[in-house]
Amino acid sequence: MKKTLIITLCLCAVLAMAPLGTGFLAQKNYTELIESQSMAQLTLSNVDYNRGWLQSTINTQVDIQDPEVLRYYQDLFNTTKPLQVNIEHQVQHGPLLFTEEGICFGFVASHDTVTFTKTSAPELNALTANNAPAIAFSTFKFNGEYKTSIQIAAIQHQKDGEKLSIEPISIELTAQDTIETMQGSVEIPKVTFQINEQGSLNVADLKLQLKLWQENNTPLGQWELSYASIKAFKGDEILFDSQETSSQVSIQAQSTKPELLDFSYEVHMKKLQIEENSYESGHLQLDITNIPAQAFNTLSTNTSQQDAVQNIPKLLSEGLLLKINAFNFTTPHGEVVGKLNAQLPKLSAQQVEDLSYLRANTTVSFDLSAPRDFVDGTSFVAQVPLLLMMGIVKEQDNIYSIKANLQDNKLQVNGKEMPF
């Protein structure tokens, strides 16, 4: 009985001291972040840090110094004042945390409130009707999981006949293992932008879902973007109307050859109207395989045009395969359908510039068909008679079609060999 009592008292002592330990570690990590100033175009400074037993209260000032953001901010409000925000953190110390989702065990939980500083332009507060621009709830658990929920306030702005309206935005993010893996979502219910009486742009139910991770220092991921509608008007006239559209992007390493990447892009569209032209049931699926991971990393970290051009030979070195497995949409005159398959050979740096080698070792197949009445309403109609005469396009049952194949340095179009 005595031993049980001693063990119980020891456990209670440990639990009582634990919040002090997690509070100390939280302050140490916060101080290191402030001192490192590792966030580009931002300067962080601690205004106040009050560490207690069960929780700490922290005030951080963020100076936003990105040149483009500052230029837009100063032009918008006609000011030379700095762009600064304060973040007030209410930080709970673990191991026992009380969160929005209930009680859990972890290192810390934080309730963060963002406000504009008094030295910034006072008009900033009017954007969110004097509400806090953003509020975040975050937890950092013992298993390495970091989860945050961010609510961005509704925004209203009007100037010189232009009006911008954005409904509250929700952001959910979950990261694991020091943000080496991350998944999350962004939801924007409605955005309206109006330019005087001349036109407007409306976006409804915009959603982004993402999952990011790294393998062998290569950034990989999956993204899905969808929206209920995007509409653009000129006065009362519809210029653009896209409804129930979703797109998915994926970059993943091959299971058998992790040094090579596969890229895929797919779009589904229920309805699209551009001025007086309307299309329905659109579908596009594009796949690119055998992308060298090292060349991809170089391209993603060096964005200059010169770097991109110099990196092309490496991107093509492993036999790039490009496929458009689906390209179709429905018009009032019928369906447009197309497919493409292009296989490049493995290339050395010298062979990339050898056009004769490329022609002899590249295989391409291409199919496209479209209703004649649809083509007659496009800018391509002027070229159709010449293409028909050359045999590049053929017509049957009021359908224009092209079927081309390139193999062994020979080009065939609609079953006839063409000079190449």
Contact 384, 399 (CB under 8 A): no
- Show the tokens assigned to 300: 């993603």
d(CA 348, CA 420): 23
pLDDT of residue 335: 93
> Going by C-beta distance under 8 Å and a sequence separation of 6 or more, which residues neighbour residue 396?
none
What rounded mean pLDDT belongs to the chain? 84
pLDDT one-digit tens code per residue, 277-330? 888 889 999 999 999 988 888 777 655 666 666 777 778 788 889 999 999 999
CA 185 to chain centre: 10
* Mean pLDDT confidence for 33-48: 76
- Angle, to 10 degrees, between the axis of helix 305-315 and the axis of helix 293-301? 170
SS3 for the chain is CHHHHHHHHHHHHHHHHHHHHHHHHHHHHHHHHHHHCCCCCEEEEEEEEEECCCEEEEEEEEEECCHHHHHHHHHHHCCCCCCEEEEEEEEEECCEEEECCEEEEEEEEEEEEEEECCCCCCHHHHHCCCCCCEEEEEEEECCCEEEEEEEECCEEEEECCEEEEECCEEEEEEEECCCCEEEEEEEEEEEEEEECCCEEEEEEEEEEEEEEEEECCEEEEEEEEEEEEEEEEECCEEEEEEEEEEEEEEEEECCCCCCEEEEEEEEEEEEEEECCEEEEEEEEEEEEEEEEHHHHHHHHHCCCHHHHHHHHHHHCCECCEEEEEEEEEEECCEEEEEEEEEECCECCCCHHHCHHHHHHHCEEEEEEEEEHHHHHCCHHHHCHHHHHHHCCCEEECCEEEEEEEEECCEEEECCEEECC
CA distance 300 to 409: 34
pLDDT at residue 5, as a whole number: 45
pLDDT band at 38; cut points 50, 70, 90:
low
What pLDDT shows up at residue 12?
47
Instruction: Please give the pLDDT value at position 10.
Output: 46
The per-residue pLDDT for 108 is 86
| 284-299 tens-digit pLDDT | 999 999 999 888 887 7
For residue 11, pLDDT beyond 70 = no
Confidence of residue 266 (pLDDT cuts 50, 70, 90): very high
- How confident is the model at residue 33, as a pLDDT? 75
Of 18-22, 48-52, 81-85, where does mean pLDDT reach its minimum? 18-22
Amino acid, single-letter form, for residue 100: E
How much is the pLDDT for 420?
67
Return the residue matching tokens 């209703």.
371
Both structure tokens of 258: 């992790």
Percent above pLDDT 70 for the chain: 89
In sequence order, the β-bridge partners of residue 213 are 181, 220
* pLDDT reported for residue 187: 93
pLDDT at 20 over 80: no
Residue 127 in this model has a pLDDT that exceeds 60: yes
The whole-angstrom separation of Cα 168 and Cα 128 is: 10
pLDDT at residue 270 greater than cutoff 80: yes
Q: What is the pLDDT of residue 14?
A: 45
pTM for this prediction: 0.80
pLDDT at 282: 92
pLDDT of residue 412: 92
Q: Name the residue with tokens 């053929």.
A: 394
pLDDT tens for each residue of 327-377: 999 999 999 999 999 998 887 767 766 777 877 888 999 999 999 999 888
pLDDT at 305: 67
Mean pLDDT computed over 49-64: 87
- Position of tokens 């001693």? 6
Least Cα distance to 180 among 205, 148, 215 occurs for 215
Number of Cβ within 10 Å of residue 166's Cβ equals: 20
Please give the Cα distance from 397 to 392 (Å, whole number): 17
Is the Cβ–Cβ distance between 95 and 18 less than 8 Å? yes
* Residue type (1 letter), 351: Q
Give yes or no for a contact between 61 and 34, defined as CB atoms under 8 angstroms apart: no
pLDDT digits (tens, 9 = 90+) for 213-254: 888 778 889 999 999 999 998 888 888 899 999 999 999 998
What pLDDT is attached to residue 180? 67
Segment among 177-186, 256-265, 362-371 with least mean pLDDT: 177-186
At residue 134, does pLDDT exceed 80? yes
**In Å, how far from its chain's centre is CA 354?**
37
Q: Which of 114-123, 185-194, 311-320 has the highest mean pLDDT?
A: 185-194
For residue 243, the model assigns a pLDDT of 92
